[in-house]
Amino acid sequence: MFGKKDITPLPPKKKEDIPYIKEGITFKEWKAKNGSGHKWRNIRWTVLIGINILFVISFTLDLSLLEGSLSGSRLFGFYLMDPFNSLQLLIISAYTGHLKYLTMNFVLGFFTILIFYFLMGGRTFCSWICPYHFLAEWGEKLHDYLVKKKKIKEHTYNIYLKYVFWTGFLILAFVTQQLVFEDINPVGILSRAMIYGPGLILVWILVLITFEIVYSKRFWCRYVCPIGATWTMVGAVSPFAVKFELDKCAHCRDCQAVCEVPHVLWFVERGKATKQRHDVGADCTKCGLCIDACPGNALSYTIKGLDKIL
Amino acid sequence: MDKSEHNLNRRQFLKSGAIAVGAMAAVGIGVGYLQKVTAETRINQKFLRPPGAIDEDTFIFGCIKCGLCVQICPVQAIKLAGIKEGLAYGTPYIDVRSQACDLSCDSIQCVETCPTAVLYFKQFKDAGAKAIEKYNATHKMDENYNPFPVQIAAMKSIVKMGVAKINENTCLAYQGKGFKGTPRGKDFKGVNRSPYSGDLKATPLSEKVYDEKICNICVKECPIGEKAIAMTNSGGKIVPKVLDACTGCGVCVMVCPTEEPSIVVEPVKS
């Protein structure tokens, strides 16, 4: 995560090592040959929409499948808790003494979700479950179009900003004795709006998405969301990742163009990679857009360390 | 990466970090202000918290707004507050006039389901266990041994969401009037499953027809019964009177036939 600056990169790839030159065809032909489908995107959208529909029908049809909302839910009777919500609650409860009243279901739900996303790669939640992500994905497309037409300028910030917000919201929760973040959390707001019916609070979502479209691409997800930051921390120790193989890469950077968090793919630029094989960092949401986009199949899902054993 | 670029990055980070801290401070002040405002308004609010709710200050941070209590309620009495209700956004409340908690569920499920214990279940569990113990002492040898009704009744009897209060100026009984027809009109969607709680196909209020010489619908529909509200003789008039066992469930408010309910539930202050 932090060490990349001190390691000297491998020497840039020689021309004859670039995959399409090796095969004796042009880049365009190579790209057309290998195709770039939307396999993972379609699977991911199906899962995302499916999970959220499951929440809605569990309520409307009164089924015990996936009750509650994304702030806290029950899957076939097993509790699942939102981690940042739980962290805020634990911090306030420890101070006020409510801690001893918290139920076993809460504790189980908190640890179950941490273990689940530890196995699934942390920020997997963002691109595979989060309904705001889905909205922002379309906002991103619109934003890219406007930038391309030169209607607006791109604004980027430091990616570590989300840890400032993460700490800040925890302090704020402690000081005000309220779940401050949950009041403005677009994940919870959207989830509740879908399940229990919309309200005036949706104006906030509109403000956020408008800001993302006209000013800074994916501002909330990249620089603010403390839920995403929590999952990044979990993902940093997770065995599940996207791996990159240098020998299959043609440095076309198509993957960076589609990536939701392009800084995690820093090694795809010519002359930047330090190893033959890189595992994408914890900020990666495992959305699979790069896997779909890569003409050389240089990127794929992996379980860290497993290919060494096999 | 050379040093100047590194410094530039650091400066950019510090700048945006400062903006972030400023933004959060603004949010904090905003939330703090709202908390103060709602603290003043919620004393006289017309909405109730679900059964077993702990004191409001703890409730506000303890409730993670998941809505599990909303899902489990069989009569859909619990709703989540929007930003207009004057409660903390996303927290559950009961609007008794549109659908009261009729205490007809099997085990006060909303309390049992709450993961953060802001609807605190232990008191109900203890009361139920005590009742079973008492029942076992006398009925252990019975042929049709069944402690569950006793347990559930004991759990429900300690619910205290508020206390009902009758407005003597508008109450039909206080004016010596009776009532004929459906109390809330044909379009009203509310339902009271108790005291017929075994019957899941309980008749909706819009289909019930009353013909009372002296209006006593609140007494007839009370899920707790004559310990909570009863018709009493007061100065020659037969009028309803709220007694100690009232749980504040609000069924009486829901069924009251006057335009503005002549009986209201005052939330318990903690």
- pLDDT tens digit sequence for A34-44: 766 889 999 99
CA nearest to A160 within chain B: B13
* Subunit contact B28:A102, Cβ cutoff 8 A: no
Distance (Å, whole) CA A286 – CA A124: 5
Asked if residue B100 lies in contact with residue B192, where contact means CB atoms within 8 angstroms, the answer is yes
Contact list in B for residue A176 (CB cut-off 8 A) is: 28, 31-32, 35
Distance (Å, whole) CA B232 – CA A90: 50
Number of residues that this document lists for chain A: 310
Provide the 10 A C-beta neighbour count for residue A304: 13
The amino acid at residue A223 is Y
The torsion of the CA quartet A98, A100, A106, A109, rounded to 10 degrees, works out to 130
- pLDDT tens digit sequence for B34-88: 776 766 665 446 688 899 888 888 888 889 999 999 998 888 899 988 877 766 7
Provide the 10 A C-beta neighbour count for residue A150: 7
Q: Alpha carbon A178 to chain centroid distance?
A: 26
Distance (Å, whole) CA B228 – CA B243: 5
Contact list in A for residue B13 (CB cut-off 8 A) is: 158, 160-161
Domain ranges of chain B: 1-44, 161-267
- pLDDT tens string for chain A (310 positions)? 444 455 777 777 777 778 777 777 887 888 777 766 889 999 999 999 999 999 999 999 988 889 999 999 999 989 999 999 999 999 999 998 888 889 999 999 999 999 999 999 889 999 999 999 999 999 999 999 999 998 888 888 888 889 999 999 999 889 888 888 988 899 999 999 999 988 888 999 999 999 999 999 899 999 999 999 999 999 999 999 999 988 888 888 888 888 888 888 888 888 888 888 888 888 999 999 999 988 888 899 988 877 777 6
The amino acid at residue B153 is A
Question: Does the reported pTM lie above 0.90?
Answer: no
For residue A89, give the nearest of B20, B71, B116 by CB distance.
Answer: B116
Confidence tier at B210 by pLDDT (50, 70, 90): confident
Residues forming beta bridges with residue B166, ordered by sequence position: B263
Distance (Å, whole) CA B159 – CA B156: 5
Alpha-helical segments (H) within A103-225: 104-120, 124-128, 131-148, 161-176, 180-184, 186-196, 202-214, 219
Distance (Å, whole) CA A59 – CA B95: 19
- pLDDT confidence of residue B3: 54
For residue B20, give the nearest of A5, A168, A200 by CB distance.
Answer: A168
Distance (Å, whole) CA B17 – CA A224: 11
CA nearest neighbour of A249 among A293, A296, A281, A292: A296
State how far residue B119 is from chain A, nearest Cα, in angstroms: 10
CA nearest to A199 within chain B: B82
- pLDDT confidence of residue B152: 86
- pLDDT tens digit sequence for B4-48: 566 667 787 888 888 888 888 888 888 777 776 766 665 446 688
What A4-10 contacts at long range (C-beta under 8 Å, 24+ apart), as own/partner pairs, is: A4/A266, A4/A274, A5/B1, A7/A274, A8/A274, A9/A271, A9/A272, A9/A273, A9/A274, A10/A246, A10/A273, A10/A274, A10/A275, A10/A276
Place of tokens 């403005």: A184
Contact list in B for residue A164 (CB cut-off 8 A) is: 17, 20-21
Contact list in A for residue B71 (CB cut-off 8 A) is: 58-59, 62, 67-68
Q: Alpha carbon A38 to chain centroid distance?
A: 18
CB pairs under 8 A between A and B: 144
Three-state SS at A97: coil
Distances from the Cα of A122 to the Cα of A42, A116, A126, A228, A229, angstroms: 20, 9, 9, 8, 9
State how far residue A250 is from chain B, nearest Cα, in angstroms: 23
Contact list in B for residue A177 (CB cut-off 8 A) is: 57, 60-61
Q: What integer is the mean pLDDT of B206-223?
A: 87
Residue B198 has pLDDT above 60, yes or no: no
- pLDDT tens digit sequence for B94-141: 988 889 988 888 788 899 999 999 999 999 999 999 999 988 888 877
**What's the token pair of residue B31?**
């939330």
Give, rounded to a whole angstrom, the gap between the first and last alpha carbons of chain A.
Answer: 26
Alpha-helical segments (H) within A97-130: 104-120, 124-128
- pLDDT confidence of residue B7: 66
CA nearest to B73 within chain A: A62
For residue A89, give the nearest of B57, B61, B89 by CB distance.
Answer: B61
- pLDDT tens digit sequence for B128-187: 999 999 888 888 777 888 888 888 888 888 888 889 999 889 999 998 888 988 888 888
- pLDDT confidence of residue A64: 85
Distances from the Cα of B214 to the Cα of A4, A189, B183, angstroms: 85, 48, 14
User: What is residue A223's DSSP assignment?
Assistant: I
For residue B20, give the nearest of A96, A165, A201 by CB distance.
Answer: A165
Give residue ranges of B with CB < 8 Å to any A CB.
1, 9, 12-13, 16-17, 20-21, 24, 27-28, 31-32, 35, 54, 57-58, 60-68, 70-72, 79-80, 82-84, 88-90, 113-117, 120-122
The torsion of the CA quartet B33, B34, B39, B41, rounded to 10 degrees, works out to 120
For residue B117, give the nearest of A88, A103, A178 by CB distance.
Answer: A103
CA nearest to B69 within chain A: A68
CA nearest to A170 within chain B: B24
- pLDDT confidence of residue A124: 93
Question: Can you tell me the ipTM of this complex?
Answer: 0.83
Contact list in B for residue A79 (CB cut-off 8 A) is: 115
* Subunit contact A68:B24, Cβ cutoff 8 A: no
**φ, ψ dihedrals at A41, nearest 5°:** -65, -45
- pLDDT tens digit sequence for B242-256: 998 899 888 999 999
